[in-house]
């Protein structure tokens, strides 16, 4: 039953555009009323009607250690007792910066902000200032926040809602952004040749997570690095999703390709609003107050977000953490593929570590075109039937699923059992 969720949603739509504070939460692509969540613990969430679900959204990635982890809650409690915001430097933010610089290969200096959007916006501003150039390259289906510069052919909620860009973005701004097919190095080389000396930055999700999960093709990231080196272009890795998710140190550690600038978020705040950008010391030294490039934020380095982030990262340093996440991902990948094969259902599972996406497609998905060619109507039915069986998934074909350390063997077994039932229903045309 969803009586309370339905009533809340009806009321919310009178007060909040679409009834939600982030578009994909409206569940429009699924044709359902969104569930309003009352509480969460570990790998489970409970809605306002008392329905309990195994959660593979994880607040869209940050909850890698699980919801309401005792150590994170305790850290938040202690921080809140001392005050929730000072608008002044703290020792804890220096500790977090030190941990980030030590862990992420591309970071020599880092600055904390309040969101992934702030991080990417600031990194792009810095790249333009450092190079004296205006154009940037991004990739179709890549989502780098909702700043004007990067809402061209964006992924995530923009893609889910079927919006090619956004009204309100000046055409002159959009024209400075070149959006190219992901994993197509030749297209990037052609664009750089077409605009010699004009490209300030290439920004890329090293593992795409906003058209669904799409891993980088062999040589793609290394090829971008070499191209940027040859042409004086700043390479920016948007690791808001992948940072500390696919490996300690992020995708750049996993794939051994080092960008000039890195954007972080999600995991480093342990579920509280946070972002960060950083990179080479010579670039970061151009930020105010030591340099001319301005960026500021009243709540940047907020003590609650810093406390939650530090507690989360310290849990992730424990031995065997990423091996366990990798194994959980492997078990689900193999299980989904086997269940689909048994039902005679074409299925592609794209996975990197503990983030993955299921595509109802007969051939590999390597870019946005492949993701869009998958059977999204079948995914909609899959989502609904899995929800009925207590499995809470991202309400969009074009989003990543996330595993946490809190998921148990029983959680995975229940999820795979449910998927087997659902695949059979879909194959047989049952509602």
Asked, colleague to colleague, whether 3-68+319-428 and 70-316 share their fold, the answer is no
Q: Model confidence at 1, in pLDDT bands (50, 70, 90)?
A: low
DSSP H helices in 138-218: 157-160, 171-174, 185-194
Tell me, yes or no, if the pTM score tops 0.85: yes
Q: What are phi and psi of 80, to 5 degrees?
A: -65, -35
Per annotation, catalytic residue among 53, 55, 138, 266: 266
Q: What is the CATH number of domain 3-68+319-428?
A: 3.90.1150.10
* Buried residues in 120-147 as b, exposed as e (16+ CB within 10 A): bbbbbbbbbbbbebebbbbbbbbbbbbb
Label residue 429 by pLDDT band (50, 70, 90): confident
Q: Compute the distance between CA of residue 188 and CA of residue 179 in angstroms, rounded to an integer.
A: 9
| CATH hierarchy code of domain 70-316 | 3.40.640.10
- Asked whether the predicted pLDDT for residue 407 surpasses 90, the reply is yes
Q: How far is CA 27 from the centre of its chain?
A: 18
Torsion over CA: 142, 146, 152, 153 (sign)? positive
> Measured between alpha carbons, how far is 3 from 8 in angstroms, rounded to an integer?
9
Does position 92 have pLDDT exceeding 50, yes or no? yes
Higher-confidence residue of 356 and 429: namely: 356
15-61 confidence digits (pLDDT tens) = 999 999 998 999 999 999 999 999 999 999 999 999 999 999 999 99
375 is catalytic: no
Per-residue pLDDT of 276-326, as tens digits, reads 999 999 999 999 999 999 999 999 999 999 999 999 999 999 999 999 999
Per-domain residue ranges of the chain: 3-68+319-428, 70-316
pLDDT at 155: 46
User: What distance in Å separates the CA atoms of residue 211 and residue 241, rounded to the nearest whole number?
Assistant: 13
Instruction: Please tell me what DSSP assigns to residue 36.
Output: P
pLDDT recorded at residue 245: 98
| Active-site residue flag, 238 | yes
pLDDT above 70 covers what percent of the chain? 95
Residue partners of 78: CB distance under 8 A and separation at least 6 = 307
The one-character DSSP state at 46 is E
Dig out the tokens for 242 from the structure.
């992948």
Report whether 241 contacts 400 (CB < 8 A).
Answer: yes
Per-residue model confidence as pLDDT tens digits over 205-244: 999 999 999 999 999 999 999 999 999 999 999 999 999 9
**Which of the residues 47, 55, 238, 367 is marked catalytic?**
238
Q: Does the pLDDT value for residue 153 go beyond 70?
A: no
The length of the chain is: 431
64-89: per-residue pLDDT in tens?
999 999 999 999 999 999 999 999 99
Instruction: Tell me how far apart the alpha carbons of residues 349 and 169 are, in angstroms, rounded to a whole number.
Output: 35
Q: Average the pLDDT over 196-207 and give the result.
A: 98
Asked if the model's pLDDT at residue 148 lies above 90, the reply is no
Residue of 68 and 145 predicted with greater confidence: 68
Tell me whether residue 143 is one of the annotated catalytic residues.
yes
Pick the catalytic residue from 53, 143, 182, 255: 143
């Amino acid at each position: 039953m969803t009586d309370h969720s339905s009533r809340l949603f009806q009321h919310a739509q009178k007060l909040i555009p679409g009834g939600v504070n982030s578009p994909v939460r409206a569940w429009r692509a699924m044709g359902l009323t969104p569930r309003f969540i009352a509480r969460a613990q570990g790998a489970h969430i409970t809605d306002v009607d008392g329905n309990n679900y195994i959660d593979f959204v994880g607040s869209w990635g940050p909850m890698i250690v699980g919801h309401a982890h005792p150590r994170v809650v305790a850290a938040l409690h202690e921080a809140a007792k001392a005050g929730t915001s000072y608008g002044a430097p703290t020792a804890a933010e220096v500790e977090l910066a030190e941990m980030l610089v030590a862990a992420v290969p591309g970071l020599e200096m880092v600055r904390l902000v309040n969101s992934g959007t702030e991080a990417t916006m600031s990194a792009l501003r810095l790249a333009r200032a450092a190079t004296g150039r205006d154009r940037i390259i991004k990739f179709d289906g890549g989502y780098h926040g909702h700043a004007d510069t990067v809402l061209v052919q964006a992924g995530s909620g923009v893609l889910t809602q079927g919006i090619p860009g956004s009204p309100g973005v000046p055409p002159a701004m959009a024209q400075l952004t070149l959006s190219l097919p992901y994993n197509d190095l030749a297209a990037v080389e052609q664009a750089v040749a077409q605009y010699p000396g004009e490209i300030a930055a290439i920004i890329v999700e090293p593992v795409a997570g906003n058209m669904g999960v799409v891993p980088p093709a062999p040589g793609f990231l290394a090829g971008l690095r070499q191209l940027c080196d040859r042409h004086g272009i700043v390479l920016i890795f948007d690791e808001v999703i992948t940072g500390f998710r696919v490996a300690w140190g992020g995708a750049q550690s996993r794939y051994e390709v080092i960008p000039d600038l890195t954007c972080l978020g999600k995991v480093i705040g342990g579920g509280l609003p946070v972002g960060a950008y950083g990179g080479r010391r010579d670039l970061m030294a151009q930020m105010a107050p030591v340099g001319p490039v301005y960026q500021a934020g009243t709540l940047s380095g907020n003590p609650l977000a810093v406390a939650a982030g530090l507690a989360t990262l310290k849990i992730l340093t424990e031995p065997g953490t990423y091996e366990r996440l990798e194994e959980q991902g492997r078990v689900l990948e193999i299980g989904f593929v086997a269940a689909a094969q048994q039902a005679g259902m074409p299925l592609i599972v794209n996975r990197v570590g503990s983030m993955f996406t299921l595509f109802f497609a007969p051939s590999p998905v390597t870019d946005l075109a492949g993701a869009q060619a998958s059977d999204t109507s079948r995914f909609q039915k899959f989502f609904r039937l899995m929800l009925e069986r207590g499995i809470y998934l991202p309400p969009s074909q074009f989003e990543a699923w996330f595993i946490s350390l809190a998921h148990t063997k029983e959680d995975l077994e229940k999820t795979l059992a449910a998927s087997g039932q659902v695949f059979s229903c879909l194959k047989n045309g049952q509602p």
